[in-house]
Amino acid sequence: MPSARPILIVEDDMTVRETLLDQLGLDGEFAPEGAVSAADADRLLEREGTRFDAILLDIGLPDADGREYCAKLRESGIAVPIIMLTGQGAEQDVVRGLDSGANDYIPKPFRLNELLARLRAQMRVFDSSEHAVFTIGPYEFRPAMKQLIEVDRGRKIRLTEKEAAILKFLYRAGGAPVPRQTLLNEVWGYNAAVTTHTLETHVYRLRQKIEPDPADTRLLVTEPGGYRLAALGR
């Protein structure tokens, strides 16, 4: 399983908020946190070492208009998917919500399955964008920047194009073993004249960068015929 994706739910209606927290937290796909107001959401967003992979945002908050708050989040550089929870059939809400930088809107009352489907769809799009961030062991992995950040120590590790591609593909496998030939094809292309020795060399160098003790690999683990990422999540 990939690590649970942290989701921020900003909703002052306790019933809706608690239902979303319960349901999204059920099977380990998401790690939701709730905020009751814009100020409460700000507090969570500014917390040290915090990251959210998506935000569900109620349009009517006690201390803010959700649309204006959404625009403010975008201005502050938050790029993750924001899905607005709007009133029933409120066309104006929808138009202004999307204008303010929201990715999608869902009228209340909503069906949970539909909300989950839309949330996953937005996150899939975001994950292949330049803004994507994934957690691998103690690191934040930014594929577009070809960078790992060791969160606790604030240390940055530069990766080569191939190293970033190897990590990205192993991450997408969700901790399942990936055969060497599959990695070769995905990272170098089907027609490339490279051997598994080339792959092994890149994996060796990658381990020197990311493993606390490269002689005792804990993150990028060798499996019969391939490799897998062992430490997904914090």
Which residues here bind Ca ion, judged by CB under 5 A?
Answer: 12, 58, 60
Structure tokens at 177: 């073993």
Phi, psi of 55 (to 5 degrees): -130, 130
- Smallest gap from Cβ 85 to Ca ion, in A, equals 8
Ranked by CB distance to Ca ion, the top (closest) residue is 60
C-alpha to C-alpha distances, 214 to 21, 72, 137, 160, 208, nearest whole angstrom: 39, 44, 15, 18, 6
The residue among 96 and 168 lying less far from Ca ion, judged by its C-beta, is: 96
The residue among 42 and 58 lying less far from Ca ion, judged by its C-beta, is: 58
The residue among 84 and 219 lying less far from Ca ion, judged by its C-beta, is: 84
The residue among 102 and 178 lying less far from Ca ion, judged by its C-beta, is: 102
Cβ(63)–Cβ(39) below 8 Å: yes
Could you give the dihedral angle defined by the CA atoms of residues 163, 164, 170 and 174, in that order, rounded to the nearest 10 degrees? 150
Phi, psi of 189 (to 5 degrees): 95, 155
The residue among 72 and 180 lying less far from Ca ion, judged by its C-beta, is: 72
- Smallest gap from Cβ 99 to Ca ion, in A, equals 20
The residue among 58 and 93 lying less far from Ca ion, judged by its C-beta, is: 58
- Smallest gap from Cβ 17 to Ca ion, in A, equals 9
Listing DSSP states for 140-182 in one string gives EEEGGGTEEEETTTTEEEE--HHHHHHHHHHHHTTT--EEHHH
- Smallest gap from Cβ 88 to Ca ion, in A, equals 13
| Coil vs helix vs strand at 4 | coil
- Smallest gap from Cβ 16 to Ca ion, in A, equals 8
The residue among 62 and 174 lying less far from Ca ion, judged by its C-beta, is: 62
- Smallest gap from Cβ 60 to Ca ion, in A, equals 4
- Smallest gap from Cβ 66 to Ca ion, in A, equals 8
Q: Tell me, what amino acid is at 158? A: R
B/e letters for 68-103, b = 16+ CB within 10 Å, e = fewer, are ebbbebeeeebebbbbbbbeeeeeebbebbeebbbb
C-alpha to C-alpha distances, 1 to 61, 195, 230, nearest whole angstrom: 34, 29, 10
